[in-house]
Structures are given as C-alpha cells and as structure tokens.
Amino acid sequence: MPTLDELLKSVEEKSLRHKLLDPNFSLIQLMKDMCQCFVELATDSSHESQERGVISDVNGFGSRSGDPESCSLAVVPRYQTGRDELRSLHDSNDITKGEEVVEIPWVNEVNNECPPSFHYIPGNLVFQNAYVKFTLSQITEDHCCTSCIGNCLSSSSPCVCVAETLYGFAYTADGLLKDDFLQECISMTRDPQLQSISSCMDCPLERSRNEEMLEPCKGHLNRKFIKECWRKCGCHKQCGNRVVQRGIRRKLQVFFTTDGKGWGLKTLEKLPKGAFVCEYIGEILTIKERHERTMTENPPSVLLDAYWNLKGALKDEEYLCLDASFYSNVARFINHRCLDANLIEIPVKIETPDHHYYHLAFFTTREVDALEELTWDYGIDFDDDNDQPNKKFQCKCGSKFCRNMKRPSRSRPLAR
Ligand SMILES: C[S@@+](CC[C@H](N)C(=O)[O-])C[C@H]1O[C@@H](n2cnc3c(N)ncnc32)[C@H](O)[C@@H]1O
C-alpha cells in the first residue's frame, strides 16, 4: 500500500506534467487552504449578515447594515402599523368583538380614521374601590317577587319589583316603555318647572375639588327609575319586566359623522318610541378615583348621582360614576344634543337594592327613523366654567334649543 505522502506526490507530478502551476503547489496545501477558507467564511460577520439579511428581506423586515445585532430576529425594527393594517386589526363587521348578542359594524366614509381603541365590555366593571355588592342575602323579599310565576306583566296587580318602580308597570307587553312613564321621565329631565333637584349635605364633587372654601352642592336631579325582576324572582327569564338586562337587540352602526362631531352611533332600523337601545357602560369609579383620573386623563364620565341625597351622607366608596374612557360599549359613541335628543337615560335597578349603584339605560324619546343618528343630552352647562373639562366642546348638535348658541336659555342647570 502506498503511503498518503506517496499518493499525494504522484498526483502532483501528474498535474505538473500537463499544467502550469505554482512550483510550490501541493495537494495537502490545497486542502489546507480550502479548510482555511471555510473557517474564514464561516466566521466572517459581514458574510453572515448578508446571508441573514436575505432571509429577513423575504419577510420585509431585513437590514443590510452589517451590524450583526440589527439583523437578529430579536431586534427586527418594530413594525410600523399603517392605516390599512390598523383597519384590519379592528373588525369592521363587529366593534363589539362578539361581546353582544347582535353584531355592531362601523363605517367611515369621511376619512381614513379608525375608531379609537378601547376594551369593549357589555356590562359595567368595578375599577377598584367602588362599593358594589350583589349578594342573594342582601336581596330580601321586599326587593324581589319570589312568589311570581311566568310573566309579571300579565298579572293584574303589580309584583314587588314592578311596585318598586313607583309607577306600576314601566314596560308594555312589546318591551317598550309605557308612554306615560316615558313622558314623565322626559318632562322631569327637560322641563325646569318639573325638575326635582336635591342637594347633598356633603357633596363629593365639591369635596374632590380640594379647595379651602367649598361651594354648596349645585344639586342633583331626582329621577324616576325602573326596577326590573332578576334571578331571585320567581318569574320566567322571558318575563316582560326584564328588558335592559337582555342587552342590545337593535341594529346599530358606529359611523364617522359629517358635521365635525367625530364618531357617532346610528340606528339601521326604525325604532319605535320607548325602545331600549343600550346601556351606558363603563368602569365603576368612586368620585375620588374619578377626580384622580380627571387630573391626568380627562375621562368622559357620568355620575350615578340620582340618589345621593337619599340616605344622608354616603361613604366615599358609595359615591359612584361610570367612566367610559378605557372599558365601555357602543354608548361611548353617542353624541350630545341639547334638549331634544332622541334618547333619554333612565336609571334601572336590577341586581342590587342599593340606591348608589344602578344601570343607566337609553330609551328612545320618539320614533326614530332608520339611519338617524342617536343622541342624548349630556346635561352640560356650557356657561359654567367649573363644569367638567371633558364636557367642554363647541356644540355642533344643530338643535334649535342648543345651549351653546342661545345663551342664557339653559334648561338643565345641573352638576353632572
Ligand atoms: C362620548 S364622546 C362621543 C363620541 C365621539 N364623537 C367620538 O368620536 O368618540 C363625546 C365627545 O364627542 C364630541 N361631541 C359629542 N357631541 C358633540 C356635539 N354636539 N358637538 C360637538 N362635538 C360633540 C365631543 O368631542 C365630546 O367630547
């Protein structure tokens, strides 16, 4: 057997016989050179970055800067979400993301804006300190109709829940608000002569201003409220005295307004007078928490103040409001209209007999045509500089009763 050296020598001589080569040429050197090149190529950073750059570019995130870090997957530059990509993140078929029984689409035929981002929730959630307690033991026989069967509205005499509404039945068999009940709610809200306003002894709004000399309470509107039957009642789930708790059933659409109000909410179907549309949903905050947020966030909040006068001074954690800035439902898109809005908010007690927590439900004040924008009167006092800063906007409601245009004819001089 020839040795490896003999073999290599023989091959080199054959090669030298026919080709012109470096006299120092050797196969062993050739093989060593190949190994050397391989090691150099394998450790050459610029070569490495080019290889990875090609892979990255396929995905559109690549960098050819030569900086090894810049082409690592961990440091891919943050993908800049463009309008089209953002649009695809929002489901334009259903802004509720499946949280409601019905789908609620959104459209923007005015510009490229997408709806603001927020967490869609179909029911209120306590942020932190608000005292909202639902316990079965707290709901006594005075607060629910345990002996009822079937539909409370078919009974000749009002059940315990219906009686608590202080008006007899609030709903018709079709699930609409009874006309006289609705009319009274509208008058009590719109007509200063009929408004019942009470002041609290120790108004949390004044206290939250942290001023040395507190002003007296500006007063809070006493409202009529609805008491719905609930789970401790004996009636059927389809009882006619359960409307708001069934959630949104109407065909609605979030749309970008053409008159400079930003996003709005419209109905896609004709709505009869007294129809439930949706609740105002948000985080339940105490007034103290709201004040802390207002200093930084400016949230659009609604006070749950209809009963603040009722039991004398409440504890801090019982003075509540709803903040729709971060968690809310479609009600966050309902724009303001002075006085003659087509929606009215009515307090509804469902699962707790406590007056400090209740639901705020929107009902139509009149028949509303399909494609009409839905509006409610925020109750802003445009003349009061101390009114909530988030409510300060140049009103474009278009109503002939607009309080922002026709000063000083204000009809709802309430702190809200
Ligand atoms: C609860 S949000 C309603 C939805 C809002 N348009 C949006 O784009 O998200 C309240 C804000 O809408 C605007 N807005 C509501 N009603 C308005 C009106 N009548 N005139 C002008 N702006 C209005 C104001 O900017 C107000 O602060």
Give 149-196 pLDDT, tens digit per residue.
999 999 988 999 998 887 678 999 999 999 999 999 999 999 888 888
Q: Find out whether the beta carbon of 255 lies less than 6 Å from any atom of ligand 1.
A: no
pLDDT of residue 156: 87
pLDDT of residue 33: 67
Nearest ligand 1 atom to alpha carbon 333: 4
What is the rounded distance in angstroms from the CA atom of residue 204 to the CA atom of residue 42?
72
**Any idea which of 87-101, 218-232, 237-251 has the lowest mean pLDDT?**
87-101
DSSP secondary structure letters along 167-228: SS--B-TTSPBPHHHHHHHHHHHH-TTT--EE--TT-HHHHHTT-SSPPPP--EE----EE-
Q: What is the mean pLDDT of the chain?
A: 81
Phi, psi of 264, deg, nearest 5:
-145, 180
Quote the ligand 1 centre to 391 CA distance (angstroms).
9
pLDDT tens for each residue of 290-324: 988 877 666 568 999 988 877 667 889 999 999 99
Ligand 1 site-directed mutation target among 263, 336, 362, 396, most atoms within 8 Å of CB: 336
Q: Which domains does the chain have, with CATH numbers?
A: 92-391 (2.170.270.10)
Q: Find out whether the beta carbon of 247 lies less than 6 Å from any atom of ligand 1.
A: no
Q: Find out whether the beta carbon of 266 lies less than 6 Å from any atom of ligand 1.
A: no
What is the rounded distance in angstroms from the CA atom of residue 377 to the CA atom of residue 333?
13
Per-residue pLDDT band at 289 (split at 50, 70, 90): very high
This prediction has a pTM of 0.78
Take atom 15 of ligand 1 and give the residue whose Cα is closest.
335
Q: Which helix (H) or strand (E) holds 301?
A: strand 301-303
pLDDT of residue 194: 83
pLDDT of residue 43: 54
pLDDT of residue 326: 93
Which one is predicted more confidently, 51 or 267? 267
Most confident of 185-189, 211-215, 241-245: 241-245
* Sequence-distant (≥ 6) Cβ neighbours of residue 32 within 8 angstroms: none
Q: Find out whether the beta carbon of 120 lies less than 6 Å from any atom of ligand 1.
A: no
Most confident of 61-70, 137-146, 269-278, 350-359: 269-278
ipTM value for the complex:
1.00
pLDDT tops 50 at residue 49: no
Most confident of 45-54, 299-308, 326-335: 326-335
pLDDT of residue 406: 56
Take atom 23 of ligand 1 and give the residue whose Cα is closest.
261
pLDDT of residue 296: 65
pLDDT tens for each residue of 346-392: 999 999 888 899 999 999 999 999 999 999 999 888 877 665 545 57
**Any idea which of 84-88, 215-219, 229-233, 335-339 has the lowest mean pLDDT?**
84-88
If we measure between CA atoms, which residue out of 358, 360, 354, 357 comes closest to residue 378? 360
pLDDT of residue 212: 76
Ligand 1 site-directed mutation target among 278, 297, 335, most atoms within 8 Å of CB: 335
Q: Find out whether the beta carbon of 162 lies less than 6 Å from any atom of ligand 1.
A: no
Nearest ligand 1 atom to alpha carbon 398: 19
**Any idea which of 197-201, 302-306, 400-404 has the lowest mean pLDDT?**
197-201
Contact indicator for 85, 78 with CB cutoff of 8 Å:
no
Take atom 7 of ligand 1 and give the residue whose Cα is closest.
263
Which one is predicted more confidently, 142 or 391? 142
User: Which two three-digit tokens encode residue 193?
Assistant: 């002569």
Nearest ligand 1 atom to alpha carbon 337: 19
Half-sphere exposure of 24 (CA within 13 A, CB side): 1
Quote the ligand 1 centre to 262 CA distance (angstroms).
6
Quote the ligand 1 centre to 378 CA distance (angstroms).
10
If we measure between CA atoms, which residue out of 156, 351, 330, 142 comes closest to residue 242? 351
Contact indicator for 330, 265 with CB cutoff of 8 Å:
yes
Which one is predicted more confidently, 415 or 250? 250
Residue type for 372, please?
E
Quote the ligand 1 centre to 336 CA distance (angstroms).
7
Count of C-beta atoms within a 10 Å radius of residue 76: 15
